[in-house]
Each structure stands twice: as structure tokens, then as C-alpha cells.
Amino acid sequence: SVTLLKQDMERLDNQLIPFDDKLQQLSELIEQCRVLREFLSIQQSLHVLESETHEKEQQYNVVKTEYMILENEWFANQARVLAAHLHDGEACPVCGSVEHPNKNEQDQTVAPSKEQLEQAKSTLNRVDNDYRNALAKQNAVMGQLSSKSEEVARFGVNEEQAEEVDK
């Protein structure tokens, strides 16, 4: 009777071996799905960040152009201010000449103020900082995606197949 019980136990143990293998396979598949979901999540985050970064880059370019125009106007006005105070026989504070035959006498009332220029520079710095931060985040997520992509590739899955998992 003990022999029969031992034989039954051995037979039941042998029947459990395929279940253990299946359980191991299931654990591996669950891990692969987790990694694939993480990959897809990072990929989606990257698409959002790329869009945000592009938007911030465009905004930076617009603000930079506006600032450069304002700065050029301000410098041109500074030259007009100096020219307005030039008198024949007196030395120019820039070049030292005592003759001023081509002095610019345009109106100075439309020129931006120093405060406007400083405000524009402050705005440019803020927008530049926003753009650089967005670019840094995008680069960090690209690194995460690259790392996760390598992990996905170890499963023998390419990016197109990974995207199919999410559908």
C-alpha cells in the first residue's frame, strides 16, 4: 500500500512538471508585456515631448527675432542721439573727429526705451530657458526609449510588433 502511494505521488509529481513549465512561461510573458507597455508609454511620452519642444523652439525663434529687431532699433537710436549732440569743431565721443558732414538727424521718438529692451531680453531668456528645458527632457526620454528598445529587442520583438501589442 505504501508502494502504491509512492507510485501515485510520483505519477502526480510528473503530471505537475508541465504545469511548472507553463507557469514559468506565463511569468516570462507577463514580464515581456510589462516591458512592452513601458516601451509604448515612453514612446508616447516622447511624441508629446517632441511636439512641445517643436512648439517651444518656434516660440523661441519668434521672440529672438523680435528681440533682435528691437535691439537693432535701440542701437540705431543711440547713434541718432549721439549725432544730435554733435557740433562742428567739437570731438565726436565715438571716433574723435571734429567734422561731422553726414550727421543723421532723424527723429528719435519712435525708438524703444532701454526698459523695453531689457523686458524683451528678459522674455527672450525665459523662452530660451523653456526651450532648453524641453529639449533636455526630450533627450532624457529618448535615452529611456533607447534603453527600453534594447530590452524589447532581447525578447525578439521589433518596434512595429511592440506597437501591435497595444492595439
Q: For residue 76, is pLDDT > 70? A: yes
In the prediction, which pLDDT does 161 show? 67
Output 160 or 108, whichever has higher pLDDT: 160
In the prediction, which pLDDT does 105 show? 66
Q: Residue 19, Cβ neighbours under 10 Å: how many?
A: 9
Which residues contact residue 89 at a Cβ distance below 8 angstroms, ignoring those fewer than 6 apart? Answer: 98
DSSP notation for 29-90: HHHHHHHHHHHHHHHHHHHHHHHHHHHHHHHHHHHHHHHHHHHHHHHHHHHHHHHHT--TTS
Q: Residue 131, Cβ neighbours under 10 Å: how many?
A: 22
In the prediction, which pLDDT does 146 show? 95
- Model pLDDT for residues 81-115, shown as the tens digit of each residue: 788 778 888 888 878 888 877 766 666 567 889 99
In the prediction, which pLDDT does 27 show? 92
In the prediction, which pLDDT does 110 show? 73
Q: For residue 162, is pLDDT > 70? A: no
Nine-digit cell string for 73: 532699433
Mean pLDDT taken over the chain:
88
- Model pLDDT for residues 24-65, shown as the tens digit of each residue: 999 999 999 999 999 999 999 999 999 999 999 999 999 999
How many whole angstroms separate alpha carbon 145 and alpha carbon 140? 9
In the prediction, which pLDDT does 167 show? 58
